[in-house]
C-alpha cells in the first residue's frame, strides 16, 4: 500500500480502531489537529480567576496548550484513546488507613500506557504500509488532553470537569497519538448531567465552583499531590482520610455508579501497587528519599515526594483520631528533616490529644523557643496551636468530610 492509499481516512480509521482495541484501549476517537479554541478560552478564564494555584505547567499560555500543531508541525490528526483504570469500590476503612485515589492503586500509568502507544503506532505503520510521524504521550506534554478527547468523541465534560463517557463513566486515563495521517474526524462527545449536582454538593471542600469549574486551591487531589507546601489549616479536617488524591466527585456520579466496569489492565489493579489504603504508621516512619523510592517506585505515589506523602498521612491520622499513630507522629515531630512534615505532625497530635501527644508537643514547643530560628516561625505557630488544641481535648467525630 502506498502512503497516498494509506491516507484514505475511513479505511485508516477502521484499521486504527481494530489495532487500538487489540492493544487494550477501551475508547478510540479521532479529531483533526486544529486549535482547541473553546478549551483555550476555558483555560484562560480559569487561569485569570487564580484557580490554577501554583501548578506552573498550567500557567502556560492557552494558545500553546490548545494547539496540537505546536507539538508536531506535520500533524493532521489527534488520536485520543481511553483506558479504564477502575479497580472496584473502595473497601471500608476498618484499619484506619490513608485512602488512595483509584487511579493510583496500581502502577504508574505513564510507564504502563506509553509502550502500548508506540506498539500501536508500529502496528498501524505495518497495516497501512507507510511510515507515520507521531508523538505519543499520556498526561506528559503541553496539550489540553481532555478537550482533545472531547473533540474526538471520548465523552462530555461533567459538572466535576471530568470527561464522562456515556457507556463507561469517567474512570479512564487519556492517551494521545498525534500523527501526520488524515484519519477523518469523529463526532465530538455529547452528553449531559441533567439536573444532577451530586458532585458539586458532595465535594468535601466545595472546590467545584460552577459546572465544569474546579478551584485547584481547594481540591483535595491538588492539595495532596501537586501542592508542595502546607495544606491550609482550615481545609485539613475536610481532607478526611485521603492520603493521595480524592475520588468523591466520581464516586457519587450516577454514570460511574451504573456503568463503571473493572479495568482489563492488570497493572492498574490493587495487587500491582499500593492498593486502596496506605499503612499510615509505616509511611510516617520513612525518613529518607532512598527508602521512599524503594517503597513507592513505579507507582503514582512518588508524585508528591516523601515530604508530601508524609504530610498527607499526618493529616489523615489526625482526622481519623489514630491514637496508635501518636508515637510515629511524635517521632516525625522530633526527627523528620522536613519542617513541613513536623508542622503537620504537630497538627495531628493536637487533633488526637492524650498525654503522650501533649508531652510531645510541649517538648517541641520548648525546643522551638530555645532555637530562636526565625525561618521556623510557621512551625512554631503550628506547635503552639496544636498544644492548645490537645489541652482542650478532641471535639469528637471521626474526621471532617467523611460519611
Task: Give the span between the Cα atoms of 266 and 246, in whole angstroms.
Answer: 22
Report the chain's C-alpha Rg in angstroms. Answer: 23
Contact yes or no for 164/172 (Cβ under 8 A):
no
DSSP string, 139-173: S-SSS-HHHHHHHTTS-EE-TTS-EEBTTTBS-EE
Nearest to 254, CA basis, from 199, 213, 206: 199
The torsion angles phi and psi of 280, rounded to 5 degrees, stand at -60, -45
Q: Is 139 an annotated catalytic residue?
A: yes
The bridge status of strand 213-214 relative to strand 208-210 is: antiparallel
The bridge status of strand 98-100 relative to strand 242-244 is: parallel
At residue 56's C-alpha, the angle toward residues 140 and 77, to 5°, is: 35
C-alpha cell at position 129: 504500509
C-alpha cell at position 128: 497501512
Contacts of 226 (CB under 8 A, 6+ apart): 53, 55, 216, 303, 304
Task: Give the span between the Cα atoms of 86 and 104, in whole angstroms.
Answer: 10
Contact yes or no for 99/93 (Cβ under 8 A):
yes
C-alpha cell at position 311: 504530610
The torsion angles phi and psi of 153, rounded to 5 degrees, stand at 90, 15
Quote the DSSP letter at residue 325: G
Other CB atoms within 10 A of residue 236 CB: 23
Task: Give the span between the Cα atoms of 379 and 346, in whole angstroms.
Answer: 9
Residue 227 CA from chain centroid, whole number: 11
Of these residues, 139, 167, 288, 367, which one is catalytic?
139
Taking CA atoms, 236 is separated from 212, 225, 312, 331, 336, in Å, by 24, 14, 9, 21, 20
Other CB atoms within 10 A of residue 130 CB: 18
Angle, to 10 degrees, between the axis of helix 355-371 and the axis of helix 326-335? 10
Catalytic residues: 139
Amino acid at each position: 500500500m502506498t502512503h497516498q492509499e494509506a491516507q484514505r481516512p475511513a479505511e485508516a480509521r477502521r484499521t486504527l480502531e481494530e489495532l487500538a482495541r487489540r492493544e487494550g484501549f477501551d475508547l478510540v476517537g479521532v479529531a483533526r489537529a486544529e486549535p482547541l479554541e473553546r478549551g483555550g478560552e476555558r483555560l484562560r478564564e480559569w487561569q485569570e480567576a487564580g484557580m490554577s494555584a501554583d501548578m506552573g505547567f498550567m500557567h502556560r499560555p492557552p494558545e500553546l496548550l490548545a494547539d496540537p500543531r505546536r507539538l508536531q508541525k506535520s500533524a493532521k490528526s489527534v488520536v485520543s484513546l481511553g483506558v479504564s483504570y477502575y479497580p472496584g469500590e473502595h473497601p471500608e476503612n476498618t484499619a484506619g488507613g490513608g485512602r488512595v485515589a483509584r487511579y493510583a492503586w496500581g502502577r504508574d500509568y505513564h510507564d504502563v500506557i506509553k509502550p502500548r502507544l508506540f506498539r500501536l503506532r508500529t502496528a498501524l505503520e505495518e497495516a497501512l504500509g507507510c511510515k507515520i510521524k507521531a508523538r505519543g504521550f499520556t498526561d506528559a506534554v503541553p496539550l489540553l488532553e481532555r478537550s482533545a478527547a472531547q473533540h474526538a468523541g471520548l465523552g462530555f465534560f461533567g459538572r466535576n470537569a471530568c470527561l464522562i463517557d456515556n457507556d463507561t463513566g469517567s474512570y479512564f486515563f487519556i492517551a494521545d497519538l498525534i500523527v501526520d495521517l488524515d484519519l477523518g474526524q469523529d463526532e465530538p462527545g455529547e452528553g449531559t448531567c441533567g439536573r444532577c449536582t451530586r458532585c458539586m454538593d458532595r465535594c468535601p471542600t466545595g472546590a467545584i465552583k460552577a459546572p465544569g469549574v474546579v478551584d485547584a486551591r481547594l481540591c483535595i487531589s491538588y492539595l495532596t499531590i501537586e501542592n508542595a507546601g502546607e495544606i491550609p489549616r482550615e481545609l485539613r479536617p475536610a481532607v478526611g482520610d485521603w492520603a493521595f488524591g480524592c475520588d468523591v466527585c466520581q464516586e457519587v456520579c450516577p454514570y460511574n455508579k451504573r456503568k463503571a466496569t473493572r479495568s482489563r489492565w492488570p497493572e492498574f489493579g490493587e495487587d500491582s501497587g499500593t492498593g486502596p489504603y496506605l499503612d499510615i504508621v509505616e509511611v510516617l516512619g520513612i525518613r529518607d528519599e532512598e527508602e521512599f523510592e524503594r517503597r513507592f517506585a513505579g507507582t503514582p505515589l512518588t508524585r508528591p515526594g516523601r515530604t508530601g506523602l508524609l504530610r498527607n498521612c499526618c493529616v489523615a491520622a489526625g482526622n481519623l483520631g489514630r491514637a496508635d499513630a501518636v508515637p510515629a507522629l511524635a517521632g516525625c515531630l522530633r526527627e523528620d528533616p522536613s519542617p513541613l512534615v513536623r508542622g503537620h505532625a504537630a497538627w495531628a497530635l493536637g487533633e488526637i490529644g492524650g498525654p503522650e501527644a501533649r508531652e510531645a508537643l510541649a517538648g517541641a514547643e520548648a525546643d522551638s523557643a530555645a532555637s530562636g530560628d526565625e525561618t521556623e516561625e510557621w512551625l512554631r505557630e503550628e506547635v503552639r496551636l496544636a498544644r492548645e488544641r490537645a489541652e482542650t481535648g478532641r471535639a469528637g467525630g471521626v474526621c471532617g468530610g467523611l460519611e
